[in-house]
Homo-oligomer: A and B are copies of this chain.
Amino acid sequence: MPNLNKNYEKLRKNYLFTETAKKIAVFEERTGRKVLRLGIGDVTLPLSSAAVNAMKRAAEEMGRKETFRGYGEEQGYAFLREAIKKYYADRGVSVSANDIFISDGAKSDCANLSDLFDENNTVLLPDPVYPAYADVNVMAGRKIVYAAADESNGFLPEPDENTRADIVYLCSPNNPTGAAYAAEELEKWVRYAIQKKAVILYDAAYECFIPFGGFFDKSADDAGKNRAENGKDFPVRSIYEVPGADQCAIEVCSFSKFASFTGTRCGFTVIPAALRCKNVSVKEAWTRRQSARFNGVSYIVQRGAEAALSEAGMAENERNAAYYMQNARIIRESLQSAGVVCYGGYAPYVWAKCPFGMTGGEFFAFLLNRAQIAGTPGGGFGKNGENYFRFSAFCSRESALLAAERLQNVLNRGV
């Protein structure tokens, strides 16, 4: 009889978001009341018409013999890799189209990239962070060490020379905190990686919100003030803005948040040709892995992604990003006016310190019962998130305003 992967026993039984979704369903069933969902970071604004039209055209091409396409190019179509190269170039970042790999999303890549490494490697994760990184490495039996993200460092941990790690996950802007590294902060991680010969897996899924962020920094919270007063640079959108990163960092990105692709599914990963582990090309190892385990992303979706990066697509995407960030501001200001301390600012999340001395789990129950608002308890993202709470602002303006109103009411009323 086969042994099931023994590492699965070490996992939490349910994935964080599956678990909270169940709690919400049970509440609605029991009370008959509709819950305002600010839990999952799922977009609500539609695809740009550029993307829609491109996919309709691509579907038509697939219906005619002359223009039909079977298996696509192994790394993804050149037209999309070139468009992504340009997306970087427009921000002054140079990435080779040959080093770009198209995938079905950042979640898949953040997990699958770990397959390239032995199970005896040590993984360093920020705490708190997106829970899938830990789950995947627990499943693979790797040792995990944590870099504490907390109020003292503005939720942006720096590397510790005394910590040995082989693989470092960074997520900037961070999910759940919305904190984002400036170049000089990220340089420390690149130096650490080069010195320790570690590989950085840099998840940039929220990079598109950086130009619309930053207002939290100018706020009343201490970490934000410190950051602003220290005159730190504006956050970088790609780790390749930092010299040396091409020798130690893989960047994973996604069309999910940026172009409303959570249900359309497309992401990409950059593995610089210069990145080698003990003289083996990581890019070659990845190519070998993908050719045995993956068959690429739908041609139709790749055409949609290409169009999302066009001038017309970008204009719509940017409008959407600004919309979500305005939602975040609305929710945050409501919390702040009730005395709740908030952090972050570069992703459409509000990372709030739980009031009334509550834990995230207690605050979840409090908001669900008293205001029919569902967010995500911070402890789901790591030990350091225990007393925090994440609100997602990927909702409609109406929901953000309704949430703001309900939050004010319930918080001002007290426990």
Q: Closest Cβ of chain B: how far from A228's Cβ, in Å? A: 34
Instruction: Number of A interface residues at 8 Å Cβ cutoff, please give it.
Output: 84
Bound-state CA distance A62–B17 (Å) is: 23
The answer to whether B63 touches A264, judged by C-beta atoms less than 8 angstroms apart, is no
The reply on A347 being an interface residue by CB < 8 A is no
A117 interface residue per 8 A CB criterion: yes
Residues of A within 8 A of B (CB): 1-6, 8, 11, 13-15, 17-18, 40, 42-49, 51-52, 55-56, 59-60, 62-65, 68-72, 74, 104-105, 107-108, 111-112, 115-118, 120-121, 132, 135-136, 139, 166-167, 196-199, 260, 262-265, 277-278, 280, 282, 285, 288-289, 291-301, 304
Contact of A70 among B11, B43, B112, B297 (CB under 8 A): B43
Say yes or no: B293 contacts A1, CB within 8 Å. no
Contacts of A40 in B (CB 8 A): 71
CB of A202 to closest CB in B, whole Å: 15
Bound-complex Cα distance A63 to B75 (A): 27
Minimal beta-carbon separation of A197 from chain B (angstroms): 3
**In the bound complex, CA of A3 to CA of B140 (Å):** 14
Instruction: Please state if A288 and B3 are interface contacts (CB–CB under 8 Å).
Output: no
| Interface-central residue, A70, A112, A139, by most chain B CB under 10 Å | A70
Additional 4 contacts, C-beta under 8 A, given A18-B74, A107-B295: A46-B64, A48-B63, A112-B293, A301-B301
- Complex A-B, nearest 9 residue pairs according to Cβ-Cβ distance, in ascending order: A1-B197, A52-B63, A2-B166, A15-B291, A42-B70, A135-B292, A111-B293, A3-B118, A55-B59
Tell me the smallest distance from the CB of A41 to a CB of chain B, in Å: 9
Residues on B with beta carbons closer than 8 Å to the beta carbon of A18: 74, 291
- A286 CB, min distance to chain B CBs, angstroms: 10
Residues of B within 8 A of A45 (CB): 65, 68
Q: Of B107, B108, B135, B166, which is within 8 A of A3 by CB?
A: B166
A243 to chain B, nearest CB (A): 20
List 28 A-B residue pairs with CB atoms under 8 Å apart, sorted by A's residue number: A1-B198, A2-B166, A2-B197, A3-B277, A4-B285, A5-B117, A14-B288, A17-B291, A44-B65, A45-B65, A46-B68, A47-B59, A47-B63, A51-B63, A55-B56, A56-B56, A56-B59, A62-B263, A69-B263, A70-B263, A104-B294, A108-B295, A135-B292, A139-B289, A263-B298, A264-B299, A298-B298, A298-B300
